[in-house]
Each structure stands twice: as C-alpha cells, then as structure tokens.
Amino acid sequence: MGYLLLLVLLIVAGLMVFSFLTARRIELGLPPEGRFITIMGNRIHYVEQGSGPRTVLLVHGLTGVLQNFTYAMLGELARDCRVIAIDRPGSGYSKRPLRSSASLAVQADVIAGLIDALQLDRPVVVGHSLGGAVALAAALRHPDKISALALIAPLSRMPAGGPPGIFASLRIRWHWLRWLFAWTLMLPLAARQRERIMQTAFGPEAVPAHFALRGGGAQAMRPSNYIAASRDLVALEPVLPRLQEGYEDLQLPVHILYGWGDRILDPQEQGRVLADQLPKGELELVEGGHMLPLTQPQRCVEFVRRTLQQTAG
C-alpha cells in the first residue's frame, strides 16, 4: 500500500510539473498584449486601438480570451472606432480573486466599472457566447452606460439539454477539486479530446490557421484559464434563469448574429427566442458555426458596424 501511495504521489507531482512548465511556455511565448486596470478587485487585462466618435467594447466567451477578437476583428473595427477588447475576470491575463464571485451580476458590474474608468461614453458592447450573457446582464443592470448590444452566438438561457459535452469537465463545484484537476488531468485530457473539441466548437467550419497562437487557443490550456471557466459555468445555473426574466424590460437595441450550424448553442432556443422577447431585438442568421469572430471576422465586423450605424445619434 505504501508503494502504491508513493506511485500515485509521484504521478500527481509529475503531472503538476508538466502543467506548470506548459503554462510557463505559453506565457513566455504569448505575453500580455495590453494594459491592466483594477476594477472591483479584479485586475483586468485589456487591449485598446483606434479612435473616433463611437466606442466598441468586446467581451469574449467561456474558455475564451481577448485574442478571439484581436485575431481579426479588433483591427478592422479600429479603422473608424475606439475599440477595447478585454480578458474577462480570471480569463487570459486578467486576475480574479478567489473571494470575488463569478456570477453574471458581478461580471456585469465589472464591465460597468471599466466603462467608467476608461471613459468609454456609452459604447456598443459586443458579446460572444457567454460574453453575450455578460453583455445582457450589464445592459439590464446599467442601461445608462451602454448604447446598444451586438451579440454574436450569445448564451441567453440555460440550454435545454444542459451544457455541451465538451464542457463536462468544467462542472466541478469544489474549488480544491477544480484546482487539482486543472493542475493534473486537464492538459492530458484536453490533448486527447482535441479533435472532438475543435469539431464541436468550430464546426461545420474549419479551425482557422494560427488559432493556437494568434487566436488565443493556446491560452485556454493554462490551468488558470480552466479554473476561471469552471467558476463561470458553475455560477451560471442559479443566475441565468433570473436574468432572462428581465429581457422584456430591456429598452436598448439588441442585434443578434447566429450561425445556422452552431454546435454549441441552439440558434432558435438562444437567438430567436431572445429576439422575440426583446422590445428592440433583431436576429440575423447566417451559414456558419459558433466561433464566428474567428471563422467569419469580416461578417462580424460588418454586423457590428450596422449596429453602430443604426444607433448613431
């Protein structure tokens, strides 16, 4: 029994060292691109480009990072707008204290605090996937700080069948177990299931070239990013049903873009039902999957620009 315990401890230690070295390689190869600002105790990493009379704030989804937008969208939008992309609290290079809640309400308040701190002057908030739920929460809690929402494949309600299977490992509720899994088994399991994960996330479209380096894919492999995503997912269940009760009262323009072939979220359940609930909701359906900011960045840029034009003045 003693030898078996020693073997287990050696395996765990080896996996932790492997995870640490992998994370360090990613951090050295892909250092922070932007600046930092502290909002409600959260150290937020953000990238800013461009200038102009209108401002756009980009909010990524579950397991994502701001590179999902800097890959192609941010530079195009910055031609005629001031554009800010953030790493949500805990994701990418943003830090979220353990004592800080991962709830949509708190993340929405962080967005509002960032808008004030950077003097963004009622931006159009673009939210992708879970970032769409954060954007909706921000608009409901702070409608005076936002001019409109441009939501790309947004999460608007708990999926009828639960989260997709590729997110099953994120549903760990105990922090100690979440931490242990992140630093031991997360990387080997992710590597083993990579093909299935990519096909689900991007299909029916192909994974873009250089996604791992330029699009933020490698950063999702850092244990800290897994821990943040797990906290985000677990925090959704008690909050999202209450959030959707307020959609009918949201008076801001909300434009929604969805791909017909989305394998993560159902376009009808998440997009059509949301648009029908909103007083000023519009839904646009296109050929494509869930990761439109990476697979169809120009279409997403045009979608955001239409939102800016329709809400001008």
> Look-up: residue for tokens 């949301």?
274
If one compares 31 and 166, the residue with the highest pLDDT of the two is 31
Q: Per-residue pLDDT tens for 194-253?
A: 889 999 999 999 999 899 989 999 998 999 999 999 999 999 988 888 898 999 999 999
Cα separation, 197 vs 166, in Å, equals: 6
If one compares 164 and 223, the residue with the highest pLDDT of the two is 223
Tell me if the pTM is above 0.85: yes
Report which of 166, 176, 233 is spatially closest to residue 202, judged by C-alpha positions.
Answer: 166
Number of domains in the chain: 1
pLDDT of residue 81: 95
Which band of pLDDT confidence, cut at 50, 70 and 90, is reported for residue 1? low
Report which of 118, 105, 144, 129 is spatially closest to residue 44, judged by C-alpha positions.
Answer: 118
What is the layout of strands, in order, in the sheet containing 124-128?
A: 35-39, 42-49, 82-86, 55-59, 124-128, 148-152, 254-259, 281-286
Q: Per-residue pLDDT tens for 280-305?
A: 999 999 999 999 999 999 999 999 99
Which CB contacts under 8 angstroms, 24+ apart, belong to 189-195? 190/221, 193/166
If one compares 168 and 65, the residue with the highest pLDDT of the two is 65
pLDDT of residue 56: 98
The distance from CA 80 to its chain's CA centroid, rounded to whole angstroms, is 24
Provide the 8-state DSSP code for 208. P
The answer on pLDDT for 8 being more than 80 is no
Which band of pLDDT confidence, cut at 50, 70 and 90, is reported for residue 164? confident
Cα separation, 274 vs 118, in Å, equals: 30
Residues 48/55, Cβ–Cβ less than 8 Å:
no
Cα separation, 210 vs 72, in Å, equals: 12
Q: Per-residue pLDDT tens for 97-134?
A: 988 999 999 999 999 999 999 999 899 999 999 999 99
3-state secondary structure of 258: strand
> Look-up: residue for tokens 């760990």?
172
260 bridge partner residues:
none
Cα separation, 304 vs 281, in Å, equals: 14
Report which of 186, 158, 155, 192 is spatially closest to residue 172, judged by C-alpha positions.
Answer: 186
Average pLDDT over every residue of 25-42: 94
What CATH number is attached to the domain comprising 19? 3.40.50.1820
The percent of residues in the chain predicted with pLDDT above 90, rounded, is: 77
The answer on pLDDT for 310 being more than 90 is no
The distance from CA 179 to its chain's CA centroid, rounded to whole angstroms, is 20
Cα separation, 79 vs 77, in Å, equals: 5
> Look-up: residue for tokens 């105990």?
174
Q: Per-residue pLDDT tens for 43-89?
A: 999 999 999 889 999 999 999 999 999 999 999 999 999 999 999 99
Domain ranges, residue 199 = 1-311
pLDDT of residue 7: 77
If one compares 180 and 10, the residue with the highest pLDDT of the two is 180
Cα separation, 148 vs 156, in Å, equals: 16
Which band of pLDDT confidence, cut at 50, 70 and 90, is reported for residue 313? low
